[in-house]
Amino acid sequence: ARERNTSGDVVTAGGTGFGVMSILVGINRNFISRSQGLQRVQTIVDFLQNKCTRFHGAFSHWINGSTGATIPFSQQDDGADLVETSFLMEGLLCARQYFNSTSNDEMNLRNSINNLWNGIEWNWFRNGGQNVLIWHWSPDYNFDINMQIKGWNEALMVYVLAAASNTDSIPRIVYDNGWASNGAMRNGNTFYNVILPLGPDLGGPLFFSHYSFLGINPHDLTDAYANYLGQNTAQSLINYNYCVANPQGFNGYSNSVWGLTASDDNISSYSAHSPSNDDGVISPTAAISSLPYTTVQSMNALRFFYYTLGDKLFQQYGFIDAFNLSDAWFADSFLAIDQGPEIVMIENYRTGLLWNLFMSCPEIKRGMKQLGFQSPSLN
CA–CA separation, 131 and 19 (whole Å): 32
3-class DSSP state of 320: coil
- pLDDT for the residue 83: 98
Query: CA-based angle 260:261:262, to the nearest 5?
Result: 140
- What pLDDT digit, counting tens, does each position of 92-134 carry? 999 999 999 999 999 999 999 999 999 999 999 999 999 999 9
- Distance, in Å, from the CA atom of 149 to the CA atom of 162, rounded to the nearest integer, reads 12
Q: Are 196 and 188 in contact (CB under 8 A)?
A: yes
DSSP of 6-70: T-TTEEEHHHHHHHHHHHHHHHHTTSS-HHHHHHHHHHHHHHHHHTS--BTTBPPSEEETTT--E
Average pLDDT score over residue span 13-38: 98
Average pLDDT, integer, range 35-43: 98
- Counting Cα atoms < 13 Å in the Cβ hemisphere of 19 gives 21
Task: Tell me what the mean pLDDT of segment 200-221 comes to.
Answer: 98
pLDDT band at 187 (very low <50, low <70, confident <90, very high): very high
Angle at 259 between CA 12 and CA 183, to 5 degrees: 75
Residues in the chain: 379
On the 0-12 / 13-18 / 19+ scale of CB atoms within 10 A, 184 is exposed
Helices (H) and strands (E) in the chain, counts: 13, 13
- Mean pLDDT score of the chain: 98
Give the number of C-alpha atoms closer than 13 A to the C-alpha of residue 291, restricted to the C-beta side. Answer: 22
According to the model, what pLDDT value does residue 163 have? 98
Mean pLDDT of 358-377: 98
Q: What angle do CA 20, 86, 346 make, to 5 degrees?
A: 45
Q: Give the pLDDT confidence of 242-289 residue by residue, as tens digits.
A: 999 999 999 999 999 999 999 999 999 999 999 999 999 999 999 999
Q: Could you tell me which residues are beta bridge partners of residue 374?
A: 222
pTM of the model: 0.98
- Which amino acid would we find at residue 17? G
Instruction: For residue 330, give the 3-state DSSP assignment.
Output: strand
Give the per-residue pLDDT at 326: 97
Structural element, H or E, at residue 106: helix 104-118
Amino acid (one-letter) located at 209: S
pLDDT tier for residue 70 given thresholds of 50, 70 and 90:
very high
Give the span between the Cα atoms of 12 and 52, in whole angstroms. 12
Q: What is the mean pLDDT of residues 130-145?
A: 98
User: What is the three-class DSSP state of 165?
Assistant: coil
pLDDT at residue 22 in the model: 98
Measured CA to CA in angstroms, residue 201 lies from 32, 145, 186, 228 at distances of 42, 26, 10, 17
Query: Do residues 301 and 257 touch, judged by C-beta distance below 8 A?
Result: yes
Contact criterion met (CB below 8 Å) for 104 and 46 = no
What is the residue-wise DSSP string for 66-98?
Answer: TT--EE-SSSS--SEEHHHHHHHHHHHHHHHHH
Return the pLDDT at 367. Answer: 98
Residue 284 near residue 259 (C-beta atoms within 8 A) = yes
Report how far residue 347's alpha carbon sits from residue 350's, in angstroms, rounded to the nearest whole number. 5
Mean pLDDT within 28-40: 98
Cα(354)–Cα(17) distance, rounded to whole angstroms?
12
Task: Look at residue 63 in the predicted model and tell me its pLDDT.
Answer: 98
Which 3 state secondary structure label does DSSP give 314?
strand
Average pLDDT, integer, range 223-227: 98
- 325-352: pLDDT as tens digits: 999 999 999 999 999 999 999 999 999 9
Distance in angstroms (rounded) separating the CA atoms of residues 314 and 358:
30
